[in-house]
């Protein structure tokens, strides 16, 4: 008996030592300029900064997309989101209804799936945002547990202003638009009926008008009802397949996520694990728990950043406590840049800071895609390493898969590449000679890291139309868009050299740069070659895939009980 115990603990020790653990931390909408290690001197992020000083800091770490869902799809699969159909051609670029049928397709392979086959224990704690159901309200087709994770605690959706009462709505603009249109249709119908009555074509116009009005009301009322109660339908907390709190109570959420993370690490200390820690902070509506509220110098936004930092510290602490630190790779990033247009209804800045970089979330200016990238692995990655070469959040896929002793799938294109040679100093140039910057499904810009040169060229095929009052944002539409009517096309493309102009202030002209047309030619050729590799797949953001389907609505109580439940409260956990 004793021998057996010794043997099992030896075995688990071997297992623990052979493959590293992974903790992949992603913050939502955090700007690169929010962190001390990227130059912020007023926000306090000591725990995150320690990851930088204790490991490698990537200064040119690029998100595959400036928007949550496509960026996360690319992160999970190591592939541009257009390859999996997770990039929108329609107007909505992320899932905004929990009862949409779109999501990460089953034929995509996530790093969690690969690590699971290697015997890793895999968990995602926090935000998923890659779909839930597809045919029924409980088929969980796109759920994280069907994409390689053993454990899930969090939300399959995103966080939104509409999730916390009193924070306004991201749908108001759209709803006002619809109401206005309906109103003009009603007026037009009325005028037409009166005219037809006058000419003797229609006998009693009021009757028809009444029917018509009734029809409009029948359509409009449920829509308004739905959005009024948005948080009941879309902001809920799940543990694995079960909804445990609907609607979600946010104030202590990060505390709960942290407790879950710490619990997961301690449960798995004897076997290899992968933890994807995906914070809902610092997306609006902003929240922070008691201990952090009002403590930062930057309002509730700063409070939220500092709470995330605290949580990162708790997780690292737990690694230290269990002597796992030297055997664990910790990665830290944000899904996209800070959302500069987020100003609260009372005028407080609620969006992140992108430092010297232009624009933010939803644009392919550097502010939208250049995100923090930190990798710590004591004893393996030298403390204080700084990598200025272009890297991508898709690289994590290849890095994690290789380090787990697996090889990346050969039956498909993987756009990420293993980061280890770069961070270990075995290679001095990044594999990404070219990076393609997508805004939804549209190729927005291309980055050329020219070999044997300091230049990092970036050519824009189009740029978002900024609000005339501001050179930095799309304040009148709340967020920039990348489709017709909201963009300016550039032919020839707008060219920058990020090495000398990281803030993208001065487009290069043929007069300034004798090689102007050659540079563009090289970029066009690479673009052509890249575009040939993009296959047509089912778009997960087609209108029918993004719109609300009542029969897919996940609900933890009967509809008469308003989809309300709070199993967390019952357990005395919140």
Distance CA 61, CA 277 (A): 19
Instruction: Respond yes or no: is residue 68 known to be catalytic.
Output: yes
Q: Is 535 in the site for ligand NAG (CB under 6 A)?
A: no
Query: If we measure between CA atoms, which residue out of 478, 465, 429 comes closest to residue 449?
Result: 429
Distance CA 546, CA 76 (A): 20
Q: Is 40 in the site for ligand NAG (CB under 6 A)?
A: yes
Q: Is 302 in the site for ligand NAG (CB under 6 A)?
A: yes
Q: How far is the CB of 119 from ligand NAG (least distance, A)?
A: 23
The pattern of x and - marking residues 254 through 293 that bind ligand NAG according to CB under 6 A reads: ----------------------------------------
3-class DSSP assignment, residue 72: helix
543-572 residues in contact with ligand NAG (CB under 6 A) are: none
Nearest CB to ligand NAG, comparing residues 33 and 154: 33
Nearest CB to ligand NAG, comparing residues 55 and 93: 55
Query: If we measure between CA atoms, which residue out of 383, 292, 286 comes closest to residue 51?
Result: 383
The pattern of x and - marking residues 306 through 325 that bind ligand NAG according to CB under 6 A reads: -----------------x--
Three state DSSP letters for 17-67: HHCCEEEEEEECCCCHHHCHHHCCCCCCCHHHHHHHHCCEEEEEEECCCCC
Q: How far is the CB of 519 from ligand NAG (least distance, A)?
A: 32
CA dihedral 281, 287, 293, 297 (to 10 degrees): 60
345-384 residues in contact with ligand NAG (CB under 6 A) are: 352-353, 355, 378-379
Q: How far is the CB of 357 from ligand NAG (least distance, A)?
A: 11
Instruction: Respond yes or no: is residue 201 known to be catalytic.
Output: no
Nearest CB to ligand NAG, comparing residues 132 and 288: 288
Both tokens of 517, joined, read 């047309």
Distance CA 515, CA 356 (A): 27
151-180 residues in contact with ligand NAG (CB under 6 A) are: none
Q: Is 46 in the site for ligand NAG (CB under 6 A)?
A: no
CA dihedral 418, 420, 425, 430 (to 10 degrees): 20
Q: What angle do CA 34, 40, 43 make, to 5 degrees?
A: 70
Query: If we measure between CA atoms, which residue out of 335, 388, 430, 336 comes closest to residue 58?
Result: 388
Piece of the chain touching ligand NAG by CB under 6 A; list 39-47, 78-86, 467-475, 492-500: 39-47
Task: Please select the residue that binds ligand NAG; options are 34, 306, 309, 395, rule is CB under 6 A.
Answer: 34
Beta strand pairing status for 121-127 and 273-278?
Answer: parallel
Q: Is 56 in the site for ligand NAG (CB under 6 A)?
A: no
Integer CA distances (angstroms), 65 to 88, 124, 428, in order: 11, 21, 25
Nearest CB to ligand NAG, comparing residues 42 and 470: 42
Residue of 14, 37, 61, 129 marked active site: 129
Q: Which residues are catalytic?
A: 68, 129
Binding residues vs ligand NAG (CB under 6 A): 33-34, 39-43, 298, 301-302, 323, 326, 352-353, 355, 378-379
């Amino acid at each position: 008996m004793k021998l057996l115990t010794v043997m099992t603990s030896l075995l688990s020790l071997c297992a623990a030592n052979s493959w590293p653990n992974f903790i992949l931390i992603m913050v939502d909408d955090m700007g690169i300029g929010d962190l001390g290690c990227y130059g912020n001197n007023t926000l306090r992020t000591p725990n995150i900064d320690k990851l930088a000083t204790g490991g490698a800091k990537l200064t040119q770490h690029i998100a595959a997309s400036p928007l949550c869902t496509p960026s996360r799809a690319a992160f999970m699969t190591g592939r541009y989101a257009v390859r999996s159909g997770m990039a929108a051609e329609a107007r909505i670029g992320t899932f905004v209804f929990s009862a949409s049928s779109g999501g990460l397709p089953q034929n995509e392979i996530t790093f969690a799936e690969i690590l699971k086959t290697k015997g890793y224990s895999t968990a995602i704690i926090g935000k998923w945002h890659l779909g839930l159901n597809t045919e029924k309200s409980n088929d969980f087709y796109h759920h994280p547990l069907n994409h390689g994770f053993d454990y899930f605690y969090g939300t399959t959706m995103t966080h939104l202003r509409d999730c916390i009462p009193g924070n306004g709505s991201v749908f108001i603009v759209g709803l006002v638009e619809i109401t206005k249109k309906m109103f003009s249709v009603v007026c037009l119908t009325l005028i037409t009926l009166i005219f037809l009555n006058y000419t003797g074509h229609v006998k009693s116009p009021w009757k028809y008008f009444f029917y018509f009005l009734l029809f409009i009301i029948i359509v409009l009322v449920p829509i308004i009802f739905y959005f009024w109660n948005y948080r009941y339908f879309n902001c809920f907390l799940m543990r694995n397949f079960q909804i445990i709190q609907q609607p979600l109570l946010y104030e202590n959420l990060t505390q709960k996520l942290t407790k879950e993370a710490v619990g997961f690490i301690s449960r798995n200390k004897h076997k290899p694990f992968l933890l994807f820690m995906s914070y809902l902070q610092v997306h609006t509506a902003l929240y922070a728990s008691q201990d952090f509220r009002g403590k930062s110098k930057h309002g509730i936004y700063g409070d939220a950043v500092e709470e995330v930092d605290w949580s990162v510290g708790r997780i690292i602490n737990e690694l230290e406590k269990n002597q796992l630190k030297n055997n664990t790779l910790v990665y830290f990033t944000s899904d996209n840049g800070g959302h500069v247009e987020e100003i609260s209804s009372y005028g407080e800045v609620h969006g992140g800071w992108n430092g010297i970089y232009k624009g933010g979330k939803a644009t392919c200016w550097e502010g939208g895609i250049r995100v923090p990238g930190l990798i710590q692995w004591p004893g393996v990655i030298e403390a204080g390493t700084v990598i200025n070469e272009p890297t991508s959040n898709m690289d994590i896929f290849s890095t994690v898969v290789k380090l787990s002793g697996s090889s990346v799938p050969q039956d498909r294109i993987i756009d990420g590449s293993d980061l280890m040679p770069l961070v270990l100093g075995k290679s001095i140039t990044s594999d990404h000679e070219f990076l393609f910057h997508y805004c939804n499904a549209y190729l927005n810009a291309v980055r050329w890291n020219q070999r044997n040169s300091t230049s990092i060229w970036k050519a824009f095929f189009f740029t978002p139309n900024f609000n005339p009052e501001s050179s930095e944002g799309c304040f009148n539409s709340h967020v920039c868009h990348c489709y017709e009517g909201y963009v300016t096309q550039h032919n020839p493309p707008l060219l920058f050299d990020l090495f000398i102009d990281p803030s993208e202030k001065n487009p290069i002209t043929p007069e300034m740069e004798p090689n102007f047309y050659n540079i563009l030619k090289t970029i066009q050729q690479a673009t052509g070659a890249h575009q040939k590799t993009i296959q047509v797949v089912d778009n997960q953001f087609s209108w029918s895939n993004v719109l609300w389907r009542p029969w897919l609505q996940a609900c933890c109580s009967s509809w008469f009980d308003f989809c309300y439940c709070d199993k967390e409260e019952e357990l005395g956990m919140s």
